Amino acid sequence: MSLFPISSAFQDVAYAAAVAAMLIAASASSAEAQQSPWEGCRPVSKVEYNSAKREYLLNTRVGRYIRTGDVWRRHYWYCHL
């Protein structure tokens, strides 16, 4: 017996919504890992990328910082040239 009387139809809808939310979250998190743009690239943090951008170091003789992905899911890389 529950503390608050709730109809079984409401409980069924709430359960279905919770299951749907978990399935959507699981499918979004199990997406493939982002592949590097080319050989010799390593993933970097957004903080490191923005720091290099602020100091005008995105493109140097030694390497290049690259941002890939969609607007809602960015990936940052440092590629040794």
Please report which residue ranges of 1-81 form alpha helices under DSSP H. Answer: 8-29, 46-54
More confident position, 80 or 2 = 80
**Sequence-ordered list of residues with C-beta below 8 angstroms from that of 68, at least 6 positions apart, any chain:** 34, 37, 74, 75, 76, 77
**pLDDT category of residue 20 using cuts at 50, 70 and 90:** low
Edge to edge, what strands does the sheet with 63-70 contain?
41-44, 73-80, 63-70
What ranges do the domains of the chain cover? 8-31+38-80
pLDDT in tens, 3-16: 666 666 666 666 76
pLDDT in tens, 38-75: 898 999 999 999 999 999 999 999 999 999 998 899 99
**pLDDT category of residue 36 using cuts at 50, 70 and 90:** confident
